Amino acid sequence: MSFTTVLYILNIIATGIIIFAERKRPAATLAWIMILFVLPGVGLVLYIILSQLFARYKLERLSSSMVMRNNPHLLAQKEQMKEGTFNYLNPESWKWSDLIRFDQQYASAYLTQNNDIELFTKGQECFDSMFRDLRAAKKSINMEFFIMKPDYIGLEILEILTQKAKEGVKVRLLLDAMGCRRMRNRHFKGLREAGGEVVYFFPARIFKLDLKLNYRNHRKLLVIDSRIAYIGGLNAAKEYVGDSSKFKGWRDTHLRITGGSVFDIDARFIMDWNFANGQEIMLKEADYIPECLGNSAVQVVSSGPESEEMEIKFTYLKMITSAKRSIYVQSPYMVPDESIFEALKTAALTGLDVRIMIPNRPDHIFVYWVTLQNVGELAKYGAKIYIYDKGFLHAKTIVVDDEAASVGSANFDIRSFELNFETNAIVYDKEFAVKMREAFEKDIDDSRQLTYEDYEKRPRWIKIKESVSRLMSDIL
């Protein structure tokens, strides 16, 4: 039997798995079949690397590894809202009660109403605040990053964590194995010797070679002393403070939160930690007695491949379809599925102020060409498109009607909706939403608008790149 025959037999087997075992969306299925048979050798390698077929029982452990506080509390909250007896403490949470109830039901997201939120749009300012809080830690530090690098940002974090562990603070550091592949055991030696714990999420099993690009833990979470939480787009590396040889600057969005939602962010961390470390740590609610510092209402919404619900995607969709006046979106990638794409087009055609901002250059080339084609089409329907020119735009945000906003790790792409583990904070508060909108408008000063007329003038070679990339958009 020739090598070519064997290759085609393997392709047929892979095709059968895609159709009958993985049960992908039709567009993704057709894209994989095309790649397998047009590029039989290369396609098979890509399938091995990107395949969604995985040990599902492991992922199911992630979603059922602990019973969150939300069980009894969430049921009571749902019942109060159903009966009309729930006390909404700010007008925005009352106006967006449909979205709140949706995320209660669909994402098991409890609503807390006593949060104080600090918004960061500059990486250095956020890290300065983060380092101060870390150095002041007395009891515990739970930290989770998709990317950590052994540069001056990553090493300073490790130095602080090591010192706090020596002082008796319980330190847990959870890192995605692929995103942190540049880290070595020697970097964690001091932290571990001081009593800190370091665990990898989906580590490589053979010679540190990990061919699995999907199912990455893309979350960026930090909880200090059960009292302060950080959530957003920043990872632990120097490019996130604008020190990058590839990009001349970096624009991101991150939050510092105190209040009731700290418990929910920490619960998300503990579920991930238990899954990665094989433990069954349970949170003690008595440890979380938040100071009532603010009146921002927050729901913490998570999604990942262990769930078929795509909670964050449908949260975005609900925010877009519920908008009455404006929708402002920032994302490095704009590769949503048809439901999000059609909702944005419909909003623009309805006359809403739809504004979308993307970076001026890619960090993933194929994704960028699909992004450019998608925003070009949205411009055709009346959306205002901005290309951020002051470095790389990494923020993942949506602000609707100056009343509700989302900040977190999830991009507007299929990978974030279906393949990565993500967490966002959904905030209902006019003062915070206005700050988010003003930050967007400030970024417009560092951007250029892409009109549909300008987009139509793009060179033919760019059109070819867009068309080829679009064919693969469902597997990017």
Give the residue numbers marked as catalytic.
Answer: 218, 220, 225, 394, 396, 401
| Separation of alpha carbons 61 and 244, rounded Å | 38
DSSP 18-68: IIIII---HHHHHHHHHHHHHSHHHHHHHHHHH-----HHHHHHHHHSS--
Contacts (Cβ under 8 Å, ≥6 apart) of 130: 222, 230, 256
Q: What is the DSSP letter of 278?
A: T
| Separation of alpha carbons 176 and 158, rounded Å | 16
- Residue 442 vs residues 43, 95, 251: alpha-carbon distances, Å: 44, 27, 12
Beta-strand pair 111-120/254-258 = antiparallel
| Separation of alpha carbons 476 and 466, rounded Å | 13
Q: Strand, helix or coil at 120?
A: strand
**Token pair belonging to 306:** 């262990």
> CA Rg, the chain, in Å?
22
Work out whether the CA dihedral 123, 124, 126, 131 comes out positive or negative: positive
Q: Strand, helix or coil at 248?
A: coil
| Separation of alpha carbons 462 and 468, rounded Å | 10
Contact between 294 and 112 under an 8 Å Cβ cutoff? The reply is: no
